[in-house]
Structure 1
Amino acid sequence: MLHRPIAVFDSGLGSLSVVRELRKVIPTENFLYYADKMNFPYGRKSKNELKNIIVKSIKFLEKYQPKLIVMASNTPSIQIYDEIKNNFSIDIIPTRLPLKKTINLSRKKHIAIMASRGTLESKEFTYLIKKEIPQQFFVENIDSSEIIDLVEEGAFLIDQKLTFQRIKEVIRPHMVNNTIDVAALCSTHLPIVKNYIEAVLPSVKLVNSSTEVARDVKNYLKYTGDLNKNGKGKLEILVSADKNNFQSILRSMGVRDLIFDVSLQL
Structure 2
Amino acid sequence: MSKDYPIGLFDSGIGGTSIWKEIHALLPNENTIYLADSKNAPYGLKTKDEIIALSMKNTEFLLNKNAKIIVVACNTATTNAINELRSKYKVPFIGIEPAIKPAANQSKTQTIGILATKGTLNSDLFHEKLSHFTNVKVIEQIGHGLVQLIENGDINSPEMNELLESYLKPMIDQNIDYLVLGCSHYPYLIPQIKKIIPEHIQIIDSGEAVARQTKKVLEKHDLLSKTTEASWQKFYTNANPRVLESILNHEYSVFEKDF
- Give the TM-score taking structure 2 as reference length: 0.91
Deviations 1:99-119 (CA, angstroms, capped at 9, x unpaired): 222212212211111100111
Say how many residue pairs are matched. Answer: 254
The one-letter code sitting in structure 2 at the alignment partner of 1:250 is E
Find 1:258's aligned residue among 234, 253, 256. Answer: 253
1:153 matched residue in structure 2: 152
Cα distance in 1 between the residues matched to 2:122 and 2:69 = 29
Find 1:174's aligned residue among 165, 171, 176. Answer: 171
Cα distance in 1 between the residues matched to 2:63 and 2:112 = 38
Instruction: Report the RMSD for the aligned CA atoms in angstroms.
Output: 1.8
Change (3 A) 1:24 1:206: same
| 1:84-99 matched pairs, under 5 angstroms | 84-99=85-100
Give 3-state SS (helix, strand or coil) of 2:88's partner: coil
Deviations 1:5-25 (CA, angstroms, capped at 9, x unpaired): 111100111111011111111
Deviations 1:45-74 (CA, angstroms, capped at 9, x unpaired): 000111111111111211011120110001
Offset of 1:37 from its aligned partner?
A: 1.3
1:111 matched residue in structure 2: 112
Change (3 A) 1:75 1:248: closer
Q: Report if aligned partners of 1:146, 1:170 keep a CA contact under 8 Å in 2.
A: no
Deviations 1:158-215 (CA, angstroms, capped at 9, x unpaired): x3x44333311221123223x2111111100001111111221232111111222111
Q: Report if aligned partners of 2:245, 2:254 keep a CA contact under 8 Å in 1.
A: no
Moved over 4 A (4+): none
1:15 matched residue in structure 2: 16
| 250-259 or 93-102, which deviates more | 250-259
Change (3 A) 1:46 1:252: closer
2:232 matched residue in structure 1: 234
| 89-98 or 8-17, which deviates more | 89-98
Deviations 1:99-144 (CA, angstroms, capped at 9, x unpaired): 22221221221111110011112233222211x21x2210000111
Higher helix share: 1
Q: Report if aligned partners of 2:69, 2:91 keep a CA contact under 8 Å in 1.
A: yes
Offset of 1:31 from its aligned partner?
A: 1.0
Cα distance in 2 between the residues matched to 1:90 and 1:162 = 41
The one-letter code sitting in structure 1 at the alignment partner of 2:190 is K
Runs (5+) with no aligned partner, structure 1:
none
The one-letter code sitting in structure 2 at the alignment partner of 1:169 is S
Runs (5+) with no aligned partner, structure 2:
none
1:192 matched residue in structure 2: 188
Change (3 A) 1:249 1:77: closer
- Give the TM-score taking structure 1 as reference length: 0.89
The one-letter code sitting in structure 2 at the alignment partner of 1:239 is T
Q: Report if aligned partners of 1:43, 1:145 keep a CA contact under 8 Å in 2.
A: no
1:73 matched residue in structure 2: 74
